Amino acid sequence: MKIEVHADAAAVACAAAMIIAAEARAVEAARGRFVMGVSGGRTSSLMLRALALEDVPWSAVRLVQVNERVAPAGHPERHLTHLDENLLRHSPLRACHVAAMPVDDADLPAAAARYARTLGELAGTPPVLDLVHLGLGADGHTASLVTGDPALTVEDADVAMTGTYRGRRRMTLTYPILARARSILWVVTGSDKTAALRRLREGDDTIPAGRVRSDHALALVDRLAAGERGPVY
C-alpha cells in the first residue's frame, strides 16, 4: 500500500477528488464507462464537494454505494443523503447514474441480492469496480465490515446485510468484490484513526480493514491520522 500524508482533512479531500477525476478520465478513454464505489464518512462529504469542481467525464460515470445505513430516504444518517447534498446538487452527474442501495425495502436480504445483480449489470459478471473509495473507523472497520459481524465471512455474495452496529443495520459490499476492484482509495483523517491506520499499514488482518487487498491501494491520510509522520504533499 502506498501512503500519502497531507496537511489536513481538506487537503486529503482535494487530493482524493483529483485522483478520482484523473482515473475517471483515463478509464472513460479506455473503456467508455467509469464505475466507482463510494463510502460514507466524515471526510467523504468534503471529497464529494471537491469532486464536483473537477474535470470529470460525468456522462460516463456510474456511482455505486459501498455501504448504507438502514434508514428512511432523506434521513441525515443515510450516506445517499450526503452524496446528494455534496455531489449531485453541484455537478452534472445525473441521479439515475447513482445506484442507491435499496435499504428501505421490507425484505433486506432480497434487496441485497438485487443490488448485487445491479452491480453485475454495471460492471460485468462478476462485477469489477474501477475504483473503490474506503474509509477507516477508529475500531478498524471499513465499509460496514465490523469485527464480529457475520458479513465478514460472506464469500459467495458481493453484497450482504449486517447486524446492528451503532444502532442501525447496514448493507455493505463484501470482501470478494473489494478484492476484484481495480484500485482502492483509502481516505483517512483524524487523530482517532492513528492506531487503526498503523494496523492497516502493517497488514493486521485481525481488524476488518486489514483484510482488504493492499497491492493496488493508495491511502491518503492527514497529519493527525499519520501521527504527524512522513512527508506532506
Q: Where are the beta strands (DSSP E) in 1-158?
A: 2-6, 34-38, 61-65, 67-69, 98-99, 131-134
Rounded to 10 degrees, what is the CA torsion of 121, 215, 131, 16?
Answer: 170
Render each residue's pLDDT in the chain as its tens digit; 233 residues. Answer: 999 999 999 999 999 999 999 999 999 999 999 999 999 888 999 999 999 999 999 999 999 999 999 999 999 999 999 999 999 999 999 999 999 999 999 999 999 999 999 999 999 999 999 999 999 999 999 999 999 999 999 999 999 999 999 999 999 999 999 999 999 999 999 999 999 999 999 999 999 999 999 999 999 999 999 997 556 66
Retrieve residue 154's grid coordinates. Answer: 460472506
Q: Is the dihedral of CA 68, 71, 76, 81 positive or negative?
A: positive
pLDDT at 25: 98
- The pLDDT score that the predictor gives to residue 229 is 58
pLDDT of residue 42: 82
Residue in this structure with the C-alpha cell 491520522, named with its chain if needed: 225
The fold of the 2-210 domain, in CATH, is Rossmann fold (3.40.50)
Looking at residue 231, its pLDDT comes to 64
Domain ranges in the chain? 2-210
d(CA 64, CA 101): 8
Question: How confident is the model at residue 230, as a pLDDT?
Answer: 57
Task: Provide the pLDDT for residue 156.
Answer: 97
> Which element (helix H / strand E) includes 145?
none
Give the Cα separation of 48 and 150 in Å (integer). Answer: 30
- Sequence-distant (6+) residues with CB within 8 A of 139 are 146, 147, 196, 207
